[in-house]
Amino acid sequence: MKKYFFILIIFTMFMCIHINTAYSQTREEFPQFDNVQKVAQSGYQFLKIDAGARGAAMAGAIATLEGDASTVFGNPAGLTSIQGQSIFVGYTNWFADMQHQAFSAAMNLGKYGVVGLNFINLDNGDIKGTAISNSNLGYDDTGNLDVTEMAIGLTYGMRFTERFGAAITAKYCEQDLIAKESSVIAFDVGTLYNTGWNDVKVAVSVQHFSKEIKYVDENFELPLTFRVGFSGDLMKLANLTNEKHKMMIALEGENPRDYSERVHVGTEYWYNDMFALRGGYKFNYDVESFSLGAGFKYKGVQIDYSYSDFGSILDMVNRFSVIANF
């Protein structure tokens, strides 16, 4: 079973990379588009919002994170190192009174691998509906509009060796923007490898792979994203091993469908495996830049907070999340 699952993972990632390579070759054939940003190339933008406070505080350098249910939103292979069960709940205070909620749970089935369930929802708040009329105001109030943006997924992963794991997520994504409702099945695929040297890890993931969606008269796709991440323990790399102090540095390259290549750099410091401080920076973003955060862990329960700066126009974003491992 491990052999066939491994072949499936590699084949899926190969197909995604092939599509991305074909797109890059097209750009080479038409160099006049080199200076054009790949904006407005995809829909379902709520899928790109960081779900967890821990990863957001590290500027989204999340491909190599593992061991709890929150990691499924950056790389599903992160679930394969869960020892028992894990539950994650995340809340983001987004812009314009919008709220982003996330939930995931995962269970280790021993030799049968790891299974997980995940869900995200974007609450757009109260949107007032109006209709043109001959009244003094020129419009009539039609009540609040109900906008729905959500995704629910199932994940299966497996450890092929003590250091290497892979996983795949199949998810149902839905968006109702009043004029028309749309939905699609999408896939996330990821691998994670621990080199065994100073806790250096290498990860590759592909997110939001789907067919084209038609909305009214326009076709679009989900925000397909390729991630390659590296991380390591700075204390071990500097030969300063101390049981009370741990510090990880993470570097991640991201190639999204709807923008040029980006880089995320993040760090995380733990004291006595109880208190954490985090920080990071995102490169090649229009408004996002640095992020900060902190965490507290006690008896398998971890509470995290993050602050992300979005510039003077959009201001800041606060995130809170809770992880329970048991």
- The strand pair at 213-215 and 218-220 is best described as antiparallel
Residue 41's pLDDT band, with cuts at 50, 70 and 90, is confident
Task: Report the alpha-carbon distance of residue 92 to residue 321 in Å, rounded.
Answer: 9
The whole domain housing 109 covers 2-325
**104-143, pLDDT tens digit by residue?**
999 999 999 999 999 999 998 777 778 888 887 778 887 7
CATH number at residue 116: 2.40.160.40
- Which residue in 80, 164, 90 sits closest to 115, CA to CA? 80
**144-175, pLDDT tens digit by residue?**
777 889 999 999 999 999 999 999 999 999 99
**222-245, pLDDT tens digit by residue?**
999 999 999 999 888 888 777 889
Task: Report the alpha-carbon distance of residue 145 to residue 320 in Å, rounded.
Answer: 27
Query: 252 is written with which tokens?
Result: 């991640």
Asked if 224 and 254 count as a contact pair (C-beta separation under 8 A), the reply is no
Number of domains observed in the structure of the chain: 1
Separation in Å, CA 12 to CA 19, 81, 190, 240: 11, 21, 10, 41
Looking at residue 33, what is its pLDDT?
46
Looking at residue 200, what is its pLDDT?
93
For CA atoms 157, 160, 162, 165, the dihedral sign is negative
The whole-chain average pLDDT of the chain stands at 87
For CA atoms 248, 100, 299, 194, the dihedral sign is negative
Task: Report the alpha-carbon distance of residue 84 to residue 110 in Å, rounded.
Answer: 9
Phi-psi group of 217: left, alpha or beta (phi > 0 → left; psi -120 to 50 → alpha; rest → beta): alpha
Which residue type is seen at 143? G
- Is residue 82 predicted with pLDDT exceeding 50? yes
Task: Report the alpha-carbon distance of residue 315 to residue 12 in Å, rounded.
Answer: 39
